[in-house]
Amino acid sequence: MDKELYFGVDVSKKTLDLAYYDGETIDWKNAHIKVSNDDAGFKKIGSWVAKVGKDFDTFLFCLEYTGLYNQNFRLWLESKEYIYSMVEPRKMHRFEPDLDDDQRSLDRIKTDELDAFRIAIYCEQNHKKILRNPSKLPSPVYFKLKRLLAERKQNTKQSVLYKQQLHD
């Protein structure tokens, strides 16, 4: 059986907080890294994952939907062929990890680091579902079509405004 390591990622505009969980214990001191949300940060993540994951066969990443802030990171994950899942923020808000009493601080404190640990634990507890249906970015055609539709909508609004000015 594959030995899996679970990564939770808290995404913001400028930074990524990553924490890992092996399914047994939380290493509060060494299982977290904060990097910039850009190519330099992704490179650090690659080195860190290789170091902490040397005894594992499979890596699973979970991150919350944050709109455009996670798109470049998702591209990087896919380029490395990592398995990942996008988690609805509503699910994470309701998620209460099943932890020992000495690890209960996750319930009371709200920081990006602790959010990353919560997401990693969620990833471990839902890993079978994630492996059955991992996330994937839509094709580049989807993004181009979305942009073109937004431009069309803007042009239509502008056209209506011009027509109103002509009639006034």
Task: State the pLDDT at residue 106.
Answer: 52
Same domain? For 104 and 160 the reply is: no
Whether residues 40 and 63 fall in one domain: yes
Task: Flag whether pLDDT at 168 surpasses 80.
Answer: no
How far is residue 119's CA from residue 21's CA, in Å, rounded to a whole number?
Answer: 9
Residues 76 and 14 in one domain: yes
Q: What is the pLDDT of residues 36-77, one digit of tens each?
A: 999 999 999 999 999 998 888 889 999 988 888 998 999 999
Q: How many structural domains compose the chain? A: 2
Enclosing H/E stretch for 36: strand 32-36
Q: How large is the average pLDDT for residues 9-26?
A: 92
**47 lies in the same domain as 126:** yes
Same domain for 145 and 132: no
Q: Are residues 104 and 22 in the same domain?
A: yes
CA-to-CA dists, residue 154 to 146, 148, 161, 164, 166, angstroms: 13, 10, 11, 16, 19
- What residues does 66 pair with on adjacent strands? none
**Residue 160 shares a structural domain with residue 132:** no
Q: Which residues contact 2 (CB under 8 A, 6 or more apart)?
A: 57, 58
CATH number of the domain that 122 lies in?
A: 3.30.420.10
Assess whether 82 and 124 both reside in one domain.
Answer: yes
Number of alpha carbons in the 13 Å side-chain half-sphere of residue 112: 14
Q: Which residues span the domain enclosing 94?
A: 4-136
pLDDT at 136: 86
pLDDT score recorded for residue 130: 82
Q: Which one has a higher pLDDT value, 142 or 120? A: 120
